[in-house]
């Protein structure tokens, strides 16, 4: 292996937005560690695709709602490649219902993956990222964490927490030349939005000035920029990619 080649972890990197991010970073020249929870075949297929295009990739299973598995993901990366330069915390789940009906289990399940999982990945990645000399953490939040969303009290709370966590970490790590930023997608064309009813899709598009859903590649290109040297003076910021839906 080329020791100078940078290494990036993408959590939830085998499907949807994560898939686009993994492909983009591989195209940018990174060795990509594709984390997955249950999408084993998709992860292996992605690794083969990256390799067929001349890149390097590794699929690693980990349930990031468990802190020990987040730590193991970091350790596996370091044991394999001896370095870590970029962490993209993209893995997330939903378990939607109105607040009146939401159980404690539903709330905890989403918080454990979408917020605690991000905390755990950041915690165990900090030392190797500092050693990289110019490390990057890019956390994928959501516009739901900025404006709320009916039926998503757990998801919105977790994503708002990710934004606050990222700002704090950006302050703590600035002296170590480690930047921490957030990308907050709006409605993006994924399997999740594909399952929305035509009525909900129509209502959503009506709120978007650009009058369409975004593509996973729109998020991937923002991540690519934030991981690059072009973004070396940017930290603690939230970049909204939503077609203009949440203008303030």
What sign for the dihedral angle of Cα 74, 46, 179, 244?
A: negative
- For tokens 């950006």, the residue is 170
Q: What is the pLDDT of residue 194?
A: 83
Q: What is the pLDDT of residue 186?
A: 96
Catalytic center residues: 155
Is position 2 within any domain?
no
Q: Which two tokens stand for residue 29?
A: 């020249």
Confidence of residue 2 (pLDDT cuts 50, 70, 90): very low
* Residue 212 placed within a domain: no
Residue 56 has pLDDT above 70, yes or no: yes
* DSSP code string of 57-69: EEEEE--TTSHHH
pLDDT of residue 90: 98
Asked whether residue 19 is assigned to any structural domain, the reply reads yes
Q: Residue 193: its pLDDT value, please?
A: 83
> How much of the chain exceeds pLDDT 90, in percent?
94
195-208 b/e with 16+ CB inside 10 Å = b?
A: eeeeeeeeeeeeeb
Domain count for the chain, please give it: 1
User: Rounded to whole angstroms, what are the CA distances from 68 to 74, 114, 116, 147?
Assistant: 10, 16, 12, 32
Domain that holds residue 147: 7-187+218-241
Q: Is residue 233 part of a domain?
A: yes
Helix ranges, 35-102 (H): 40-52, 67-81
b or e along 145-181 (b: 16 or more beta carbons within 10 Å of the residue's beta carbon)? bbeeeeebbbbbbbbbbbbebbbebbeebeebebbbb
* CATH code of 60's domain: 3.40.50.720
Per-residue pLDDT tens over the stretch 126-169: 999 999 999 999 999 999 999 999 999 999 999 999 999 999 99
What's the CA dihedral at 48, 241, 61, 59 to 10 degrees? 20
32-48 residue pLDDT tens: 999 999 999 999 999 99
Answer yes or no: are the C-beta atoms of 24 and 220 closer than 8 Å.
Answer: yes
Specify if 213 maps to a domain: no
Query: Is 198 among the domain residues?
Result: no
Residue 180 falls inside a structural domain: yes
Structural domain contains residue 36: yes
Two tokens, residue 226: 């934030």
């Amino acid at each position: 292996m080329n020791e100078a080649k940078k290494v990036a972890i993408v959590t939830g990197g085998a499907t949807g937005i994560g898939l686009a991010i993994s492909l983009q970073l591989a195209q940018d020249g990174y060795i990509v560690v594709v984390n997955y929870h249950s999408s084993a075949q998709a992860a292996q297929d992605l690794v083969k695709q990256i390799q067929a295009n001349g890149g390097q990739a590794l699929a690693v299973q980990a349930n990031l709602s468990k802190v020990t598995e987040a730590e193991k993901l970091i350790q596996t990366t370091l044991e394999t490649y001896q370095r870590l330069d970029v962490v993209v915390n993209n893995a997330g789940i939903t378990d939607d219902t109105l607040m009146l009906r939401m159980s404690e289990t539903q709330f905890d399940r989403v918080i454990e993956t979408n917020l605690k999982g991000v905390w755990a990945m950041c915690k165990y990645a900090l030392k190797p990222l500092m050693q990289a000399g110019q490390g990057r953490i890019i956390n994928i939040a959501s516009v739901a964490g900025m404006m709320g969303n009916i039926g998503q009290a757990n998801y919105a709370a977790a994503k708002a927490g990710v934004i606050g966590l990222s700002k704090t970490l950006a302050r703590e790590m600035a002296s170590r030349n480690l930047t921490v930023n957030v990308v907050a997608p709006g409605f993006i064309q994924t399997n999740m939005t594909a399952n929305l009813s035509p009525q909900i899709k129509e209502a959503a598009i009506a709120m978007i000035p650009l009058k369409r859903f975004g593509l996973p590649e729109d998020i991937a290109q923002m991540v690519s920029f934030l991981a690059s040297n072009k973004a070396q003076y940017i930290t603690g910021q939230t970049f909204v990619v939503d077609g203009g839906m949440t203008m303030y």
